[in-house]
Amino acid sequence: MKPAKLHCWILGWFSVALCCWCTSDKITQSDNHPHTWKKLYLAHHWPVTVCKMSANDCQDPPEYWTIHGLWPDKTEECNRTWHFNVTEIKDLMSDMRHYWPDVLHSSLNRTQFWKHEWEKHGTCAATLQVLNSQRKYFGKALELYQHVDLNSCLVKAGIKPSSSYYQMTAIKEALTRFYGVMPKIQCLPPEEGEKAQTIGQIEFCFTKELQLRNCTALKGESEPVPADLKLGTEELSVCSDTLPTYYPSQVQDHK
């Protein structure tokens, strides 16, 4: 092959390869890629309701909202080889046990709940630099939890565990007024013989810059992730605005 033709042949193949590489990179970064996400959900759950959903080892649940998880939308289990290592969060253990306890299992040495949250959600959140290690992921979730301070907000709004019922619209209005955004609120539907739904989970949404935003899906976005809390036949769903809402103070004080 003549040098001129060889040069053109090499240049042609290089151009094709470069085009393919660029196209591949665009596909990897596109919104349709399975590991691409747009917002984070910081899920708080009410331990008394969690215990109501399960007959597990649920003893003296905390009487404050605790962390369920920090979840990117659209993605789960992004790296099954990145296993949970509790030694990476050993300096967080005191706060983890207090604010992110395994409500269903009373043992302080149990780490299965955190393992589940990291492997299902944390490995996906780790595409963000500020969350790209187990220490960063759990530490940032604790930081956001403290920033939101849901427990204080509800108390200031006069919304406390009670045998009386609340209107869901009043709870939403109080939260929206306080935070300036609409969270996602989930309840247990009424059981047979009950007239009220039971509040169980409140999720706050954050942008990738970790700024609060509405949880409602914008045009072109996915629907929110599932409730991620199903115990036996009990499952949370988005609360109804029309049903009275029960905010229980004890596990078995309401039938």
- Residue 77 DSSP one-character state: -
What DSSP element (H or E) covers 141? helix 134-148
SS3 at position 90: helix
Q: Residue 75 burial by CB count (10 A; 0-12/13-18/19+): exposed, middle or buried? A: buried
77 part of the active site: no
Cβ atoms within 10 Å of 79's Cβ, excluding its own: 13
What CA–CA distance (Å, rounded) separates 219 from 241?
Answer: 23
98 part of the active site: no
Active-site residue (options: 44, 45, 121, 203): 121
Contact between 39 and 208 under an 8 Å Cβ cutoff? The reply is yes
Active-site residue (options: 117, 119, 223, 234): 117
Contact between 137 and 126 under an 8 Å Cβ cutoff? The reply is yes
Find tokens 């905390």 and name the residue: 62
Active-site residue (options: 44, 68, 119, 203): 68
105 part of the active site: no
Cα separations (Å) of 217 from 12, 25, 140, 223, 229?
45, 27, 24, 6, 20
The residues annotated as belonging to the active site are 68, 117, 121
